């Protein structure tokens, strides 16, 4: 069986790169016939996890799509009892639709705060951790050094749309309703009724403004909703999206008229996202990636000067983070979106401002925690349906008493990270399982699936239970993950 599967993979690759004189249609048909003939047994009997992982990574393989699309794991028990983890932790593995709202932290961190959430697209966590970070990115490094630096922060997805929707809804991708947008063939959450953080803040008489670099980040597309002021900022550089200097100029002008009212703004800085060439470390694209981040860093420094000029420094909180990381060749991945490895989901999260003492927090946190955190900063309660927990108590110097699980998902991949650093990645399309001990294997190179590792089985059951409970249940609807 496994020899046949391997043969299919090799023959498919050979056919894909076969003689030029064979018509493309003929090569494709031949590959499909060979694949169907040899892969047929694998439609009934699933090969071991390690073989499946190898097959889905073979370039040009035709066995994987057939084998993996039709195989099922009926022997797995979604309802097996979970190992006890405390009543607070267990509350995240049951339906939270009717959970009571969470009151805000008292007393508040600041009165009438100005909160600026800066998302640097594609900013990996390790960029601000290296020995040269302070020299290369002095302004971002200072925010982390002089604020609360959450060293174990992770995004809930590896794509902008997924992460930002989770940030503003407090829910994960599979909990929301997605459908093709009337103006775009891709799926967006515009028809999902879940409350968005900007709308809740606007209703609470907080001034809210979104000066957007991208048309699909504004109201009507569903990622954000409810900003009192919103407009798409045009690019002065002829680029697809406005650059960081365009966004900072618009935001700085808006801050000049803020006065003493509370204010929230979200800025997405795309400079490091859209570059050309390869991403491999040391390659041309990596140099462009770094140049984009340096431009962003300079604009963050400029923004801080404009905040001071507007007289708002003593009540301005800056949240510096990213929507996802970036693949620079690790695991054979360039760019982002396709996997849930650490280079894509681990991001910086630094919070800087008055009343916030410098400290490093090593407890795992998620960007989904930003939804309750933003509400809490403005003295507002958090809906019980939100899947994160406020970080305001930590910003005030408290211990990180956080019980919700750390989850990420995308492209039919689902991941869970336990408090002790065990990471489970399940691919529901490929029916593969990966388990890594991030403490001893931060590069995720030693897959422990199938090994007798303490806690592995419990982590896998928790991952499956989480998505069984929380995935949106709507007749005829399946979360539309991209392939």
Residues 58 and 119 grouped into a single domain: no
Please tell me which of 36-40, 136-140, 241-245 the model is most confident about, judged by mean pLDDT. 136-140
Residues 182 and 219 grouped into a single domain: yes
Residues 128 and 45 grouped into a single domain: no
Residues 254 and 177 grouped into a single domain: yes
- Determine whether 373 is exposed, middle or buried from the number of CB atoms within 10 Å of its CB (0-12, 13-18, 19+): buried
- Going by pLDDT thresholds of 50, 70 and 90, the confidence category of residue 95 is very high
- Going by pLDDT thresholds of 50, 70 and 90, the confidence category of residue 116 is very high
Residues 297 and 424 grouped into a single domain: no
Residues 162 and 244 grouped into a single domain: yes
- Determine whether 278 is exposed, middle or buried from the number of CB atoms within 10 Å of its CB (0-12, 13-18, 19+): middle
Q: How far is CA 378 from CA 41, 230, 374, in A?
A: 59, 20, 7
Q: Is the residue at 416 inside a domain?
A: yes
Residues 177 and 297 grouped into a single domain: yes
More confident call, 469 vs 481: 469
- Looking at 386, 403, 420, the residue that finishes a domain is 403
Residues 179 and 317 grouped into a single domain: yes
Mean pLDDT of 142-162: 97
Residues 435 and 455 grouped into a single domain: yes
Task: Give tens-digit pLDDT for 376-400.
Answer: 999 999 999 999 999 999 999 999 9
- Looking at 403, 436, 462, the residue that finishes a domain is 403
pTM score of the predicted model: 0.84
CATH code (residue 383): 3.40.720.10
Residues 45 and 138 grouped into a single domain: no
Mean pLDDT of 437-449: 95
- Looking at 403, 421, 448, the residue that finishes a domain is 403
Q: Is the residue at 369 inside a domain?
A: yes
Q: Is the residue at 75 inside a domain?
A: no
Q: How many domains does the chain have?
A: 3
List the beta bridge partners of residue 266.
Answer: 117, 210
Picking from 308, 346, 341, 335, the residue whose alpha carbon sits closest to that of residue 427 is: 341
CATH code (residue 466): 3.30.1120
Residues 237 and 145 grouped into a single domain: yes
Q: What share of the chain is helix, strand, coil (3-state, %, to 5)?
A: 35, 15, 45
Residues 127 and 231 grouped into a single domain: yes
HSE on the CB side for 387, CA within 13 Å? 29
Q: Are 390 and 102 in contact (CB under 8 A)?
A: yes
Q: Is the residue at 475 inside a domain?
A: no
Q: Is the residue at 79 inside a domain?
A: no
Q: Is the residue at 214 inside a domain?
A: yes
Amino acid 135: pLDDT = 96
Q: Is the residue at 438 inside a domain?
A: yes
Cβ atoms within 10 A of the Cβ of 133, count?
17
- Tokens (6 digits) for 237: 């550089």
Contacts of 89 (CB under 8 A, 6+ apart): 403, 404, 405
Sign of CA dihedral 360, 166, 218, 160: positive
- Going by pLDDT thresholds of 50, 70 and 90, the confidence category of residue 285 is low
Amino acid 326: pLDDT = 87
Boundaries of domain holding 317:
114-403
Q: Is the residue at 147 inside a domain?
A: yes
């Amino acid at each position: 069986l496994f020899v046949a599967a391997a043969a299919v993979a090799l023959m498919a690759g050979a056919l894909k790169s076969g003689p030029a004189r064979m018509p493309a249609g003929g090569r494709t048909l031949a590959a499909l016939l060979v694949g169907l003939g040899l892969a047929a047994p694998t439609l009934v009997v699933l090969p071991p996890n390690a073989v499946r992982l190898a097959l889905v990574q073979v370039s040009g393989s035709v066995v994987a799509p057939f084998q993996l699309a039709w195989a099922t794991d009926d022997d797995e028990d979604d309802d097996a009892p979970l190992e006890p983890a405390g009543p607070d932790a267990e509350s995240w593995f049951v339906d939270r639709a009717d959970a009571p709202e969470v009151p805000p932290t008292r007393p508040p961190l600041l009165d009438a705060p100005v909160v600026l959430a800066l998302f640097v697209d594609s900013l990996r966590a390790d960029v601000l951790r290296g020995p040269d970070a302070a020299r290369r990115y002095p302004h971002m490094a200072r925010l982390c050094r002089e604020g609360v630096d959450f060293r174990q922060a992770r995004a809930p997805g590896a794509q902008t749309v997924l992460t930002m929707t989770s940030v503003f809804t407090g829910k994960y991708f599979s909990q929301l309703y997605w459908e093709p947008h009337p103006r775009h063939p891709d799926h967006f959450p515009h028809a999902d009724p879940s409350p968005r953080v900007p709308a809740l803040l606007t209703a609470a008489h907080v001034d809210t403004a979104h000066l957007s670099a991208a048309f699909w980040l504004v109201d009507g597309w569903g990622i954000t909703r409810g900003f009192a002021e919103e407009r798409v900022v045009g690019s002065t550089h002829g680029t697809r999206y406005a650059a960081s200097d365009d966004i900072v100029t618009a935001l700085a002008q808006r801050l000049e008229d803020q006065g003493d009212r509370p204010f929230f703004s979200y800025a997405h800085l795309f400079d490091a996202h859209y570059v050309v060439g390869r991403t491999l470390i040391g390659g041309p694209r990596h140099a462009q990636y770094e140049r984009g981040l340096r431009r962003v860093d300079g604009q963050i420094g400029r923004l801080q000067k404009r905040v001071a000029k507007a007289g708002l420094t003593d009540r301005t909180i800056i949240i510096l983070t990213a929507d996802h990381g970036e693949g620079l060749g690790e695991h054979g991945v360039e760019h982002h979106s396709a996997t849930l490895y650490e280079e894509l989901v681990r991001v910086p999260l630094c919070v800087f401002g008055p009343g916030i003492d410098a400290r490093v927090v090593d407890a795992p946190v998620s960007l989904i925690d930003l939804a309750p955190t933003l509400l809490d900063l403005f003295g507002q309660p958090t809906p019980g349906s939100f899947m994160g927990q406020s970080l305001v108590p930590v910003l005030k110097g408290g211990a990180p008493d956080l019980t919700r699980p750390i989850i990420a998902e995308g492209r039919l991949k689902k991941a869970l990270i336990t408090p002790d650093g065990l990471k489970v990645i399940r691919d529901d399309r490929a029916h593969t399982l990966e388990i890594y001990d991030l403490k001893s294997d931060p590069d995720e190179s030693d897959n422990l699936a199938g090994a007798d590792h303490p806690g592995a089985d419990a982590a896998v059951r928790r991952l499956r239970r989480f998505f069984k409970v929380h995935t949106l249940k709507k007749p005829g609807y399946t979360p539309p993950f991209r392939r």
